[in-house]
Chains A and B, each alone.
Chain A
Amino acid sequence: MGSMARVNIAAVPIPGVDADAGRVVESMVASAPEPASHETPELTKPATIEPVAPEPEIVPIVSLRDVAQGLLKHITRERMITAVLACVSIGTLFLIWYLGTKYRFEFYIRFKNVPTPAEVFQQAMQVGLSNKFVYNIAMSVRRILTGFAIAIAIGVPLGLMIGRYARVRDLFMPVTEILRPIPAIAWVPMSIMLWPNNEAAIVFITFIGAFFPILLNTIHGVHSLDGVLIRAGRCLGANEPQLFWNVILPGSLPHIFTGLAVGMGVAWVSLIAAEMISGQYGVGYFTWEAYSLVDYPAIMLGMITIGVLGLACSGIIRMVGVLLMPWLAFASGSKR
Chain B
Amino acid sequence: MTVIDADTEVRKGFIDVRSMGVTFGSGDSAVVAVKDVSLNVQPGEFVSLIGPSGCGKSTLLSIVAGFVKPTSGEAVLDGKPITRPGSDRGVVFQQYSLFPWLSVRKNVEFGLKMAGENQNKRNITARSLLDLAGLLSFENHYPDQLSGGMKQRIGIVRALATSPQVLLMDEPFGALDTQTRVVMQEILTNIWQQFRISVLFITHDIEESIFLSDRIYVMTARPGRIKAEIKVPLPRPRKAEMTDSPEFMNLVQELKGLIREESLAAMAPELKDRGLSGFGMKVGPKGVGEIF
Contacts and interface: CB of A to CB of B under 8 A. Distances in A.
Partners in one complex: yes
Interface of A: 9, 12-16, 35-36, 38, 41-43, 46-47, 49-55, 58-59, 61, 226, 228-229, 231-239, 242, 246-247, 250-251, 253, 325-327, 330-332
A237 B194 contact: no
- The interface centre, meaning the residue of A46, A228, A250 with most chain B CB atoms within 10 A of its CB, is A46
A182 B195 CA distance: 61
Given A46-B196, A55-B123, A327-B144, A238 B101 contact: no
A232 B128 contact: no
B141 A235 contact: no
A42 B193 contact: yes
Contact of A51 (B90, B124, B189, B236): B124
Given A12-B137, A49-B163, A61-B140, 20 more contacts: A14-B139, A35-B128, A38-B131, A41-B190, A42-B193, A47-B196, A49-B125, A49-B132, A53-B124, A53-B127, A229-B99, A231-B85, A232-B91, A232-B99, A235-B66, A237-B162, A246-B110, A246-B114, A247-B99, A250-B102
Contact of B137 (A14, A38, A231): A14
A240 to B, nearest CB: 11
A270 to B, nearest CB: 32
A14 B140 contact: yes
Q: How large is the interface on B (under 10, 10 to 19, 20 to 34, 35 or more residues)?
A: 35 or more
Contacts of B158: 236
B115 interface: yes
B110 A236 contact: yes
Given A250-B99, A327-B100, A237 B196 contact: no
Interface of B: 8, 65-67, 84-87, 89-91, 93, 95, 97-103, 106, 110-111, 113-115, 119-120, 123-125, 127-129, 131-132, 136-137, 139-145, 158-160, 162-163, 189-190, 193-197, 236-237
B114 A51 contact: no
A3 B129 CA distance: 17
Nearest to B65: A235
B194 A38 contact: yes
Nearest to A237: B87
Given A9-B136, A46-B196, A234-B85, A52 B127 contact: yes
A237 B132 CA distance: 23
A330 B86 contact: no
A14 B237 CA distance: 33
B163 A47 contact: yes
B128 A51 contact: yes
Contacts of B85: 231, 234-235
A229 B97 CA distance: 6
Contact of A41 (B66, B95, B189): B189
Main secondary structure of the interface of A (DSSP, over half): loop
A25 B170 CA distance: 37
Nearest to A39: B190
**What 4 pairs across the A-B complex have the smallest Cβ distances?**
A237-B87, A236-B111, A330-B144, A235-B85
B145 A237 contact: no
A15 B141 CA distance: 8
Which of B89, B106, B145, B190 is the most central at the interface, judged by chain A CB atoms within 10 Å of its CB? B190
Contacts of B139: 14
A325 B99 CA distance: 12
A236 B136 contact: no
A327 B110 contact: no
B144 A49 contact: no
A54 B124 contact: yes
B162 A236 contact: yes
B120 A325 contact: no
Contacts of B119: 58
A46 B136 contact: no
A49 B214 CA distance: 23
A236 to B, nearest CB: 4
Nearest to B106: A61
